[in-house]
Amino acid sequence: MKEEFNYLNNLLKVNDKIVICLSGGPDSMCLLSLLIEISKQKKLYLIAAHVNHNVRKASAKEKIFVENYCQKNNVIFESMKIENYHDDNFHNEARNIRYKYFEEIVKKYHAKYLMTAHHGDDLIETVLMRIVRGSNLNGYAGFKKEVKRTNYTIIRPLINITKEEILQYNKLNKIPFVTDLSNKKDKYTRNRYRKNILPFLKKEDPKVHEKFLKFSNTINQYNEYLEGQLQKEYQKTFKDNILEIKIFNEYAEIIKNRIVEKILEDVYHDDLFLINDTHTKEILALIANSKTNLTINLPSGLRVRKSYGKVIFAKEEDVQKDYEYELRDSVFLPNNKTIKLVKESNLTSNYVTRLSSVEVALPLKVRNRHQGDKMAVKKMSGQKKIKDIFIDEKIDLVERDLWPIVVDANDVIIWLPGLKKSKFDKSKKEKYDIIIKYN
């Protein structure tokens, strides 16, 4: 533990404010004891942040234990209790809640560092689980010793040592701690790795954690270089949740893969656990497919739609539902455009239509498309499907769902704004008493 003490002693300055993620287990109590020792000389502001996960009867007692320990050692104590869980993945939701809370405590005290007690065994477990499950370069690396945030830095000082070394240190220095019995239950994936895989690896090489740390650092170095190369290409290729296929196809495969991975990282944020390399492959296959229009659905309602050289990433809740408005004066549309009645216009394009109230049933309405919609297109015999007009005009799939259609009171389509006029449209020389403009 000498190296860890020296690392912290060299890192920390007098009056530094540090938030410690304190569960009360052997790892976090070991870290807290190191910081208390250093604080004797450097007068650190130590803030312990404790989360009661509220899933075990012992949790309440553990909170009292860590609170009393902090009071005895002049450590500021903060805690929160998770009242309800909404996610099927308990560990993921708990982790998200924890880190959001820790960040709040960092901001409250304007702390310089947030420290966690992740150690070498944790790193091995994380790397192995990511490899088996499938991830990307960043995921395969596990986690870093130092991670810089906007206003603070996350530090994992114990990453170079094993659980056994921590337990030995606690025993030697009589550091008290609590034991979470759920860490031994086989129903949790990490526990199975800890129980079945780690002993085998350590038997092969007692210092295997050092090999995994080297692996992690190497992966991080390659990933940082690749990220530097990626940023410009990413900004050119992906904007406003739309990927431009033509630009995307100019890149090498490794850049293509990383762009898709980064899109998923940006879209999913804290729910990234839902995504693996299978989803990345599905998106790459969609892009490479010769078909013009394709759609795939990903976890949490993400819909990935390919349409005329673009790939659109949209959550289901962001997709516009059906709409219908009565056209009295003007209507502001879900596609951020406007349809309005005007007294006069010199335009003759598809962005203006002139109608006679004698030929159409009032009131007029504006709605989105319906299944089987057809329109009697001006200067054409019969009727044409709205779907076919969209295809002919190469209108994007997402835009089709939002595109306005003007109908009369009998739901007869009298105008497809910006694209086609109907047989009801009048020329400037004919009689009309309604002018509608789309812009």
List pLDDT tens digits, range 240-282: 889 999 999 999 998 999 999 899 988 887 677 778 888 999 9
For 209, the enclosing helix (H) or strand (E) is helix 208-237
- The runs of H, that is alpha helices, within 73-145 are 90-109, 120-133, 137-140
Q: CA quadruple 295, 296, 298, 300: dihedral positive or negative?
A: positive
Q: What is the reported pTM?
A: 0.63
What is the tens place of the pLDDT at every residue in 179-231? 887 777 787 888 999 999 999 999 999 999 999 999 999 999 998 888 888 88
pLDDT at 185: 78
Q: Cβ contacts of residue 84 below 8 Å, gap of 6+?
A: none
Give φ, ψ of 271 to 5 degrees.
Answer: -95, 20
The CA distance from 168 to 405, in Å, is: 74
Closest by Cα among 99, 83, 54 to 272: 99
Q: Provide the pLDDT confidence category of residue 421 given band limits of 50, 70 and 90.
A: very high
User: What percent of the chain lies above the pLDDT cut of 70?
Assistant: 96
- Residue 33 burial by CB count (10 A; 0-12/13-18/19+): exposed, middle or buried? buried
The CA distance from 417 to 403, in Å, is: 8
Q: Cβ contacts of residue 403 below 8 Å, gap of 6+?
A: 335, 368, 369, 390, 395, 416, 417, 419
Give φ, ψ of 421 to 5 degrees.
Answer: -100, 155
**324-438 CATH pick, 3.40.50.620, 3.20.20.70, 3.50.40.10, 3.40.50.10420:** 3.50.40.10
Q: Provide the pLDDT confidence category of residue 316 given band limits of 50, 70 and 90.
A: low
Please give the full DSSP string across 339-362, using - where no structure is assigned: EEE-S-----STTEEEE-TTTSPS
What is the tens place of the pLDDT at every residue in 67-112? 999 999 999 999 998 887 665 555 667 888 888 999 999 999 999 9
Q: Provide the pLDDT confidence category of residue 317 given band limits of 50, 70 and 90.
A: low
pLDDT at 340: 94
pLDDT at 364: 96
Q: Provide the pLDDT confidence category of residue 411 given band limits of 50, 70 and 90.
A: very high
Domain extents for the chain?
2-215, 240-318, 324-438
Q: Cβ contacts of residue 327 below 8 Å, gap of 6+?
A: 339, 341, 363, 364, 365, 366, 406, 436
Per-chain mean pLDDT for the chain:
91
pLDDT at 343: 94
More confident residue, 230 or 50: 50
The CA distance from 199 to 169, in Å, is: 20
Neighbours of 5 (CB within 10 A): 14
CATH class of the domain comprising 240-318: alpha beta
Q: Is the pLDDT of residue 319 over 70?
A: no
CATH class of the domain comprising 2-215: alpha beta
More confident residue, 396 or 379: 379
pLDDT at 228: 84
Please give the full DSSP string across 213-242, using - where no structure is assigned: HHHHHHHHHHHHHHHHHHHHHHHHHEETTE
